[in-house]
């Protein structure tokens, strides 16, 4: 069997965060409903952070760990996002340049709501399996940013974003895909996909979201069940309860994941409520840990859940992880792979939990001011210079060299490294 999968993977979840319980109380949300979100924190994109800074900061440690010869074998860079700031130019060109990669490289971008990251992973997997360039690697960067904006002078305190605001995050997951799957070995051919046209959520304008939250929940549940059933049809002997040691889900918020898991367990295993809850805590919660602290980063969230599972699970013996990805509109996929102790040890070298802990926690006053300042980098900005003095302590919160947006000149984005 040909080996393929994730050689290395890393997360960048920004330099600032917000306690979402404090935010919900500040917005006077129904706290009984808020508890169902299963959220703790959300990464907040500062004006000088964008999808490029998140992606490069996630990918750079992966690239730095390679020898020059290994770096030159990266022959494909895929950006996966619904937060691009240009209708034509791919963000992968910025990634390629800022990471100093070989020019003999394919550079392109994928968009399919929250499914984009897994679409990028599977595209890279099939490139490696094709063996058209033996020994090649692909760099996949899933990066997305939720920005909530108000006009200058607007009353941000009374703006009503309901429960979308606490669950909208920002961040990136970067991964190298190759025939050396040290971190996550794909079960080749073990996948089920399911999709159809539905108007559950969308971005009908460059900086605005729309949708039907109830319809989105129903579509997610429908796709989770049917993508898994297709997987089961293709993989002889597959059993939802026993085949997978862990399960990693795309997590718009934890409560939606819990509902999907409960739905499948109830229908396919006939398990009772207590058994389902115990199974959720054992197999699913390890993957929700980081998601509860970053919130929904759209195309990167299923991958973030996979990273969280690898970081928090027990891999003293090889374990199989089932992964579910959903993107509104819609397309979904359920696939699987195997993780060994080596994979967990390699992942832990990137100190992801420590970086989450080191983010600067914003006050509500700072956050409200940010809602106005975020207008500076909205889609179509032609010229602007970013205010590096806006929460300067956040710029050095991570204690390492970090890339930030410096200015935009005639639509071109220019960046700087800050130690």
Active site residues per annotation = 82, 114, 250
Q: How far apart are CA 193 and CA 325, in angstroms?
A: 9
Residues near 224 by beta carbon (within 8 Å), at least 6 away in sequence: 249, 260, 263, 264, 324, 326, 332, 334
Closest C-alpha among 39, 46, 43 to residue 11: 43
Give the residue carrying structure tokens 């992973």: 121
Q: How far apart are CA 37 and CA 29, in angstroms?
A: 12
């Amino acid at each position: 069997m040909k080996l393929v999968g994730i050689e290395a993977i890393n997360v960048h979840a920004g330099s600032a965060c917000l306690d979402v319980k404090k935010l919900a109380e500040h917005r006077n949300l129904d706290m009984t409903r808020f508890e169902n979100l299963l959220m703790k924190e959300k990464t907040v994109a500062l004006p000088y952070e964008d999808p490029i800074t998140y992606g490069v900061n996630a990918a750079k440690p992966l690239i730095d760990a390679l020898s020059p010869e290994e770096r030159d074998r990266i022959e494909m860079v895929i950006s996966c996002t619904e937060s691009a700031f240009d209708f034509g130019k791919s963000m992968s060109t910025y990634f390629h340049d800022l990471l100093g990669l070989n020019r003999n490289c394919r550079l392109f971008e994928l968009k399919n709501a929250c499914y984009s990251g897994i679409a990028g992973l599977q595209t890279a997997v099939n490139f490696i399996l094709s063996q058209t360039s033996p020994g090649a690697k692909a760099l996949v960067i899933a990066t997305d940013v939720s920005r909530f904006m108000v006009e200058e002078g607007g009353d941000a305190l009374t703006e009503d974003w309901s429960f979308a605001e606490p669950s909208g995050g920002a961040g990136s997951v970067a991964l190298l895909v190759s025939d050396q799957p040290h971190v996550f070995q794909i079960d080749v051919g073990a996948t089920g996909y399911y999709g159809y046209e539905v108007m559950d959520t969308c971005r009908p304008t460059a900086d605005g979201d729309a949708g039907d939250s109830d319809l989105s929940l129903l579509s997610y549940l429908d796709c989770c069940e049917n993508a898994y059933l297709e997987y089961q049809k293709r993989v002889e002997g597959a059993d939802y309860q026993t085949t997978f040691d862990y399960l990693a889900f795309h997590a718009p918020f934890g409560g939606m994941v819990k509902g999907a898991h409960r739905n499948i367990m109830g229908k396919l295993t006939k398990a009772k409520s207590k058994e389902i809850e115990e199974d959720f805590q054992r197999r699913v919660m390890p993957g929700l840990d980081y998601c509860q602290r970053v919130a929904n980063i759209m195309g990167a969230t299923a991958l973030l859940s996979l990273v969280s599972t690898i970081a928090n699970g027990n891999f003293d013996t090889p374990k199989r992880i089932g992964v579910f990805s959903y993107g509104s509109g819609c397309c979904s996929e359920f696939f699987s792979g195997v993780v060994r102790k080596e994979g967990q040890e390699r992942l832990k070298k990137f100190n992801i939990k420590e970086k989450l802990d080191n983010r600067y926690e914003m006050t509500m006053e700072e956050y409200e001011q940010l809602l106005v300042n975020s207008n500076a980098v909205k889609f179509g900005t032609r010229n602007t210079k970013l205010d590096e003095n806006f929460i300067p302590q956040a710029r050095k919160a991570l204690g390492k060299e970090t890339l930030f947006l410096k200015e935009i000149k005639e639509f071109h984005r220019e960046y700087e490294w800050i130690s």
